[in-house]
Amino acid sequence: MLFRHLFIGFLFLWSSLDASILNVGIEDFYKTKGFISYTLANDLNETPYSLDGRIWTKSKDSFNTFENADKAYWAKIKFKNLSTSSKTYYIQSENQFTYSIEFYLMKNGKIVDYIQDGVIHKNRKRAFNTNHMTFPITLLAHEEATVFFKIRNYNKIDIDFFLRSKEYLLDFYQSYNIIEGVFFGGMFIMMLYNLFLYFLLKYPAYLYYVFYTFWLIIYFIGLFGFSQRYFPDYKWIFYLSSGMFFIFMTLFIQSILHIKEKLPRVYILFKVFLVYFVIFTLLNSIAIEVHSFFYAQILFDLFFILVPIYVILVISTTYYLAYSQNDIVARFYSVIWTIVSMVGLLLPLNYLNLFKMDIHSDYIFQFLILFEVLCFSFILAYKIKLIQQEKRNQSCLLIKQNKLASMGEMISIIAHQWRQPLSEINGIVLEIDMDNRKKRLDDNSLDRYLNEIEASTAYLSGTISDFMNFFKHDKNINYFYISDAINRANKLLSLSHRKNSVKIIVDIEENIELYSYQSELIQALLILMNNSIDAFVINNINNPKIIIKTRRENKNIIITIEDNAGGIPLGIIDKIYNPYFTTKHESKGTGLGLYILAMLIEKSMQGFVDICNINEGVISTLSIPVNISK
């Protein structure tokens, strides 16, 4: 038995003198780097059978040129099993941005196995269902075999291959999955944490950091193969990721350090980089998608050449703000970014094949980013105190802005309120023209039409005054009967009622008197009734009807407007009060109607609005105080 082991060991040492063959069968793990040789592919469809007489080199630097960027290249590894038994290994590659890779296993000059993998040819039958590219190879006792890889990629990154046994891979992936779970779990928790802070404080820097973290997660999902495993049909998202996280990192830096206000000239430089990152992201994604690897290679190299310049700009800016302007937040960032940048620069240097190390640089960068995200999240939490102080200083201004509508919003509201009266006037003019053409326009009809036009124009004139009063603190409150308000609203919509055969049923108490804003109530009723009429037309309702009822409950007046127009879809009922949300064509609505309704009833008239579905339609309930308090 001892003689057998010595004999196998002797064979292994003797065979290892041939540096072109990787001898296996003794260990569970082998590096293949010193045993790989390369040659350029003449065309994309050639196979190993056409490689006879080809010149092979130990480096692919000679054909790593821009003119060869669109071409594939071959990598060759020879194996020999020194064991006296059959051995199965797996050739594994952890580089997941390989565009296309074809695996050929040849024995005795014949292809015995073929596998396609990579971004565009994801192998859905990978061993162990792993995220990494794995290619099985089985060698009988003392058997030799040659593996050919035809590789097409859009960058110069060297692809490292490792030979691992099944037992080794099982242990490897057990540890790997735990580590990746910690990383992605930590990143996801920090993203949600900062998203919560954004919704709490509405500070843009938090949102930028959320998107920065999000695109980092997407980048690493693609980098470590999860994209091909779980999202094979969304490759373009991962093409975008390498530029998108730089974009949101730049926006975050500008926002958190207030660079625009403190360093206007440096802000311009950041804007230049921001524009560059946007252009790079779009052009690189397009170039890869259309298989123009020549341009993708140029963009890729240029990107990683400019990254160190960008890093120097970021670090120098933070140090300047930290010590020249005594910015405490900038001091924290300067220290962390220095650590991250010093180690992070190894990544582009490794990608450009200018620096090599035994530890995979992607893993170093991965946990460096997790460290950065954790630190930045704690710093952003500290920023809450500063933001709250700033909020208190601006509270008076914010209150005023909340009470005053912007000029654009006011115009939109007025335009919305004018839409129906203008339609009524237009309809009346058409009826006058039609009656005149048919010789049936008498004095009584003309007087009736003119009175309706006069009522609509009076309402148009009053709308401007009403809305100007709404945004003032000294609006006039009057006593009025609720029946008068309902009748006025009904009269303004009378033409629409007749055109669409809508039956209006009014059940009110004539003696109910309010001390409130009559114009606001009329406008609220018009919004609800007009919505019902539009719904009748859209849903083609037979026998449409609107039922208006009022009742008194303690110190409030309850008005209900019920229709049989089919109801509101459940998927949008929670959004109906949002400004500019509409399901109508843009020519029919602005999406402001129910937003205005809530603003009129709740903010102006101190009541509340409730809209819900019933069996055949919608019932809207307005609760208004009998006597409004100023």
CATH code, 614: 3.30.565.10
Residue 189 is assigned to a structural domain of this protein: no
Local structure of residue 204 (DSSP, 8 states): H
Mean pLDDT, each 10-residue run in order, the chain (630 residues): 45 44 91 89 90 86 73 91 92 75 92 86 75 89 93 72 90 83 86 84 84 87 70 71 85 87 90 88 78 71 79 86 78 78 65 56 71 76 67 48 44 64 82 80 80 80 60 65 82 66 80 82 83 84 87 87 85 73 58 74 84 86 83
For the chain, the domain total comes to: 3
Q: Are residues 248 and 388 in the same domain?
A: yes
Both structure tokens of 453: 């036009």
Match 């230049």 to its residue by tokens: 272
Q: Are residues 144 and 245 in the same domain?
A: no
Both structure tokens of 407: 């000029």
Both structure tokens of 215: 């695109």
Amino acid found at 556: N
Report, in angstroms and rounded to the nearest whole number, the Rg of the chain calculated over CA atoms: 37
Instruction: Check residue 114 and give its pLDDT.
Output: 94
Q: Are residues 232 and 250 in the same domain?
A: yes
Match 């037309």 to its residue by tokens: 537
- Tell which of 109, 139, 166 closes a domain: 166
Q: Are residues 35 and 158 in the same domain?
A: yes
Instruction: Check residue 416 and give its pLDDT.
Output: 60
Amino acid found at 558: I
Cα torsion angle, 58, 62, 66, 71, sign: negative
Q: Are residues 129 and 274 in the same domain?
A: no
Return the SS3 of 480: strand
CA-to-CA distance for 486 and 503, rounded, in angstroms?
Answer: 15
Q: Are residues 155 and 246 in the same domain?
A: no
Residue 456 is assigned to a structural domain of this protein: yes
Closest to 527 in 3D by CA, of 480, 442, 592: 592
Q: Are residues 94 and 148 in the same domain?
A: yes
Contact by Cβ (8 Å): 616, 566: yes
CA 346 distance to own-chain centroid: 29
Q: What is the CATH number of the domain that holds 134?
A: 2.60.120
- Integer CA distances (angstroms), 511 to 480, 559, 561, 610, in order: 10, 14, 19, 25
Residue 103 is assigned to a structural domain of this protein: yes
Q: Are residues 459 and 605 in the same domain?
A: yes
**E strands along 59-128, which residues?**
73-81, 87-93, 100-107, 110-117
Output b/e per residue, 492-503; b: 16+ Cβ within 10 A.
bbebbbeeeebe
| Cross-strand pairs, 162 | 31, 92
Residue 568 CA neighbour count, 13 Å, CB half = 22
Q: Are residues 14 and 93 in the same domain?
A: yes
CA-to-CA distance for 574 and 568, rounded, in angstroms?
Answer: 10
- Tell which of 371, 401, 431 closes a domain: 401
Both structure tokens of 261: 């206000």
Residue 68 is assigned to a structural domain of this protein: yes
- Tell which of 139, 166, 193 closes a domain: 166
Both structure tokens of 271: 């804007």
Residue 190 is assigned to a structural domain of this protein: no
Both structure tokens of 568: 């509101």
State which residues form the domain around 482: 404-625
CA-to-CA distance for 89 and 164, rounded, in angstroms?
Answer: 6
Q: Are residues 467 and 613 in the same domain?
A: yes
Instruction: Check residue 86 and give its pLDDT.
Output: 93
